[in-house]
Amino acid sequence: MSVTAAQGFTAAGVAAGIKASGRKDLALVRNLGPRFDAAGVFTSNRICAAPVTWSRQAIADGRIDAVVLNSGGANACTGVEGFADTHHTAEKVGEELGIAAGDVVVCSTGLIGARLPMDALLTGITTAAADLSADGGLAAAEAIMTTDTRPKEAVRTVDGWTVGGMAKGAGMLAPGLATMLVVITTDAVVPAEDLQSALGAATRVTFDRLDSDGCMSTNDTVVALASGASGITPEATAFLAALTEVCHDLGQQLIGDAEGASHDIAVRVVNAASEDDAVQVARSITGSNLFKCAIFGNDPNWGRVLSALGTTAAAYEPDGVDVSFNGVMVCRGGAIGEPRELVDLHPRAVDVLVDLHAGDAQATVWTNDLTYDYVKENAEYSS
């Protein structure tokens, strides 16, 4: 159900002919109100795609009526022509739905540095507009897939109101969001300003803590739409909790379907002097190709964890660090701990715990292993 689980939303996903494969490649999500509050979080990459530039402006006034998303092309690094393409896309959606182009968020994903096939895309918008329905959530989630092997959806219902969402993304997943497009809808009454602060808080500890491959996208967009159709105004903490759960659920689905991965790895850093320290240390480990190759080889190579830790400015004493793989403390006090033979890394889920013994802050960053199939997907196909 995803984006159509909450009341007041319709969606559609169609095959517009943008992808050579003929698969679904265009999604449309519409908010029918009565409210049109919206919030967005975008890539921090300074080289950002035309649709990101457009959508940042569109969402600035806190109102969005519809989101159009295409796979099959990122429309990034396409110059003024690319920006005009995004503008035309929004105008076409406006025409079809009888709304202002300036209230349309546009998202694109696919190869950087190529123009979109605009004839196919514009025709697809007409088809999608005619196809909008309260059952369209799954089709929309399918239409935004690129190298994803399955659609990602999540829903939480609490006391009469609902938060639902869809996501795509399987590579170029890194700090400052991941390569992903995410649309979240809710029928709760949440003014745009509150929605923006809740979305920022939720993404900070979910999508922003994914690092599949260290590469930051030009197109990352997370947009949240609130229709108010339930008539219920939730407590801020309850809403944030539900929104964070949906973001976490979608984020875990992204990591679980990352390109070529055979392990999903949670790097938990505990007893850090600050949350920033914990995040910095976790990111240094999730960014290490050697660490990620070791996990692929089912090798609890804690030396590679410590060599990554050593590159950070975090507070710790080198002889005061413990590292555990799946509960076995293979490194104690910065030196040799339990035998590495005790660790079983065959399950897909891997838990790496780093205890800095330097304070009481903590953070988790999620990543994947580095595999033959990751190299294959990213060497043999342009994306």
331 binds a second copy (CB under 8 A): yes
Which residues lie closer than 8 Å to 8 by C-beta, 6 or more apart?
A: 31, 32, 33, 34, 185, 187, 227, 228, 229
100 binds a second copy (CB under 8 A): no
- Residue 383 annotated as lining a ligand binding site: yes
187 binds a second copy (CB under 8 A): no
Residue 62 C-beta: closest distance to a second copy, Å: 27
Let me know: does 73 contact 116? Beta carbons within 8 Å. yes
- Residue 378 annotated as lining a ligand binding site: yes
312 binds a second copy (CB under 8 A): yes
x/- mask, a second copy, residues 17-46, rule CB under 8 A, reads ---------------------------xxx
Let me know: does 264 contact 255? Beta carbons within 8 Å. yes
- Residue 179 annotated as lining a ligand binding site: yes
- Residue 262 annotated as lining a ligand binding site: no
- Residue 92 annotated as lining a ligand binding site: no
218 binds a second copy (CB under 8 A): yes
Interface size with a second copy, residues (CB under 8 A) = 65
Tokens of residue 356, six digits: 């800095």
Only segment of 15-23, 188-196, 209-217, 275-283 that touches a second copy (CB under 8 A):
209-217
x/- mask, a second copy, residues 58-97, rule CB under 8 A, reads ----------------x-xxxx-xx---------------
Residue 66 C-beta: closest distance to a second copy, Å: 27
List 179, 186, 218, 364, catalytic entry: 179
Residue 254 C-beta: closest distance to a second copy, Å: 16
What CA–CA distance (Å, rounded) separates 345 from 27?
Answer: 39
167 binds a second copy (CB under 8 A): no
Let me know: does 251 contact 207? Beta carbons within 8 Å. yes
* Sheet of 221-226, strand order: 37-42, 221-226, 181-186, 161-168, 152-158
57 binds a second copy (CB under 8 A): no
Catalytic annotation present for 4: no
353 binds a second copy (CB under 8 A): no
47 binds a second copy (CB under 8 A): yes
Out of 160, 231, 310, 320, which residue is the one contacting a second copy (CB under 8 A)? 310
Provide the annotated binding site for substrate.
146, 168, 179, 259, 378, 383
Residues that bind a second copy (CB under 8 A): 44-48, 74, 76-79, 81-82, 111-115, 171-172, 176, 213-218, 287-290, 293-294, 296-297, 299, 301-304, 306-312, 318-319, 330-331, 333-336, 370-372, 374-376, 378-382
